[in-house]
Amino acid sequence: MFRPIRTVWPIRALILAAGLTVGCGRRELARQTWPAMGTVAGVTVPGRAENHLPAYAELARETVREMEGRLSQFNPDGVISMLNRQAGGDSVVLDPDTLHVLALSLHYARVSRGAFDPTASPLVRLWGFHGGAPRATPPTPAEIRDALSTAGYSHVVLNEETREARLALPGMKVDLGGIAKGYAVDAVSAKLKAMGATDFMVNLAGDMRCFGEPSKGKPWRIGVRNPFNTAEIVGVLHLTDGWAVSTSGHYERFVEIEGTRYAHILDPRTGYPVAGMAGVTVVATNATLSDALSTALFVLGPDQALSVLRETEGCDALFIPDRLPLELWITPELQRRFVPDRDWVDAVRVLDL
């Protein structure tokens, strides 16, 4: 779930601040980063709060490690591995965090009508997104049918009262890779707030959450990368008050089979990797929601996503279709938080929600 396909660090959005480079005088922002969940985690605070940073980063590191241990399907001792091993058999009692993430992932699976599916793992594995040697040829339709027959969120049986979970089909597997990083960001945020932190940003590569202000009267500024030229940004998001942002893109994690690139997000309804989207950025009131929905909306694309966006409170999106010239499709409310780069002002289109 958290294994990087390549050894790149998939930072899909970047924090914009001159102060990030160590230089003369007091730094505007202070940041600590460390490798976690197959990517890079980080905590950023205003320069004036730099003395708190080591304690914040330590708590964040511990929390992320704990979440990874619980939620990763690659930890053989974790509860998700146990659940997966027992697929088709007995139920497993989950700890409260895992129960909560699994319940939320089933909720988003229903909301997105299966575009987000925490049981897409056999497909993810079939296409070679779990690492190892790349496939020489794409899977055959028979292999895809086979993998689809062991997937489907409706076969996850969850009893929230007894905290028991069971996978009804033998060979089924739960993969929380599309939501766990967001959940970990929320868990870190809650702990930092409980510790008294007011102005900070938590970052797990493509998933971030911002509180307070980096400097008086200023929001946190998060750059959204251009999927066609990742050295460049298409615009800046202005976030504060606990808002979160997640990006799912076709440009950081992919496999190449017979010269064709396949993005690491699968359409669980067809069994094929998603084609047509270059990037989807979701801004939401928490990072679990932004993470799950960025994956779901990447599958759905702007047209099919409209009903999901209408039904989901506290959630806005920016879609970049996989075609040139570049287009930036945004939800109406996002106009308040997204400032396109000068070069891309004319590329903005507002969705009719």
175 binds ligand ADP (CB under 6 A): yes
Q: Return the one option of ligand ADP, Mg ion, none that residue 206 interacts with (CB less than 5 to 8 A, by type).
A: ligand ADP
271 part of the interface to ligand ADP, by CB under 6 A: no
Q: How far is the CB of 46 from ligand ADP (least distance, A)?
A: 27
# residues near ligand ADP by CB under 6 A: 23
Residue found by looking up tokens 């993005």 in the block: 263
d(CA 72, CA 80): 7
- Asked if 245 and 283 touch (Cβ cutoff 8 Å), the reply is yes
Q: Is 268 in the site for ligand ADP (CB under 6 A)?
A: yes
150 part of the interface to ligand ADP, by CB under 6 A: no
Q: Is 274 exposed, middle or buried (0-12, 13-18, 19+ CB in 10 A)?
A: buried
Nearer to Mg ion, 19 or 295 (CB): 295
Query: Which chain residues interact with Mg ion by CB under 5 A?
Result: 178, 291, 294-295
Hey, which bits of the chain come out as E strands?
13-15, 29-36, 39-46, 92-93, 156-159, 164-167, 200-204, 207-211, 220-226, 229-239, 244-249, 254-257, 260-263, 266-267, 272-273, 277-284, 315-321, 328-330, 338-340, 348-350
Considering only 56, 116, 251, 319, the residue that binds ligand ADP (CB under 6 A) is: 116
Shortest Cβ distance from residue 267 to ligand ADP (Å)?
7
Which one-letter amino acid corresponds to residue 200?
A: F
Nearest-angstrom CA–CA distance, 336 and 353: 15
Tell whether residue 111 is a contact of ligand ADP (CB under 6 A): no
Contact 150, 171 (CB under 8 A): yes
Note whether 177 binds ligand ADP by CB under 6 A.
Answer: yes
Near ligand ADP in 286-315, by CB under 6 A: 291, 294-295, 299
Whole-number Å distance between alpha carbons of 339 and 317: 13
Host H or E run for residue 327: none
| 210-249 footprint of ligand ADP as x/- string (CB under 6 A) | --------------------------------------x-
Residue length of the chain: 353
Residues 9-48 that bind ligand ADP (CB under 6 A): 10
CB of 161 to Mg ion, least distance (A): 28
Contact residues: ligand ADP, CB under 6 A:
1, 10, 116-118, 120, 124, 129, 175, 177-178, 181, 206, 248, 253, 264-266, 268, 291, 294-295, 299
